[in-house]
């Protein structure tokens, strides 16, 4: 699926993270909010599977946020993309337009559906 934007650079600056996009825009993200997102979605957890002497050994753990932020861009960018899509993009204007469109469709449907009915006199 095509992405809405590409992340070019991620740089942590104190309590915020500067994210540079492919359209030369920079978004500031609260580091604590991003960390909470990562924890909530298990993005700081990892699992290593190894075979030693014919035996399967599995080791699971959690890396710290500081270690995570020192990772290469290719590992952080997908998580940051998900965070920006979920938390930073305001879809309310598009949703309002969608609701107006649905209201119009429903009104037109109901007007046509009930236009040939005659009132009942009791």
Of the candidate ranges 7-11, 34-38, 110-114, the one whose mean pLDDT is the lowest: 110-114
**Phi and psi torsions of 22, nearest 5°:** -70, -10
How far apart (Å, rounded) are the C-alpha atoms in residues 52 and 14?
42
User: Does position 121 have pLDDT exceeding 80, yes or no?
Assistant: no
Strand partners, 7: 21
User: Does position 74 have pLDDT exceeding 70, yes or no?
Assistant: yes
Q: Tens digit of pLDDT for each residue in 32-49?
A: 999 999 999 999 998 989
Q: Tens digit of pLDDT for each residue in 13-33?
A: 889 999 999 988 999 999 999
User: Does position 88 have pLDDT exceeding 70, yes or no?
Assistant: yes
What phi-psi label fits residue 54: left (phi over 0), alpha (psi between -120 and 50 degrees) or beta? left
Residues 12-51 as b/e (b if ≥16 CB within 10 A, e otherwise) read beeebbebebeeeeeeebebeebbebbeeeebbeeeeeee
State the chain's mean pLDDT as an integer: 85
> What is the reported pLDDT for 75?
93
Assign 62 to helix, strand or coil: strand
pTM: 0.68
């Amino acid at each position: 699926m095509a992405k809405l934007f590409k992340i070019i650079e991620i740089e942590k600056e104190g309590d915020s993270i500067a994210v540079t996009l492919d359209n030369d825009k920079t978004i500031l993200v609260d580091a604590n909010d991003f960390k909470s997102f990562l924890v909530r979605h298990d993005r700081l957890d990892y699992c290593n599977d190894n075979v030693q002497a014919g035996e399967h050994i599995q080791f699971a753990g959690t890396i710290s946020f500081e270690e995570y932020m020192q990772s290469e861009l290719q590992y952080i960018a997908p998580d940051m993309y998900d965070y920006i899509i979920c938390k930073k993009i305001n879809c309310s204007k598009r949703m309002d337009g969608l609701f107006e469109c649905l209201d119009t469709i429903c009104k037109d449907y109901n007007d046509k559906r009930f236009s040939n009915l005659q009132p009942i006199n009791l």
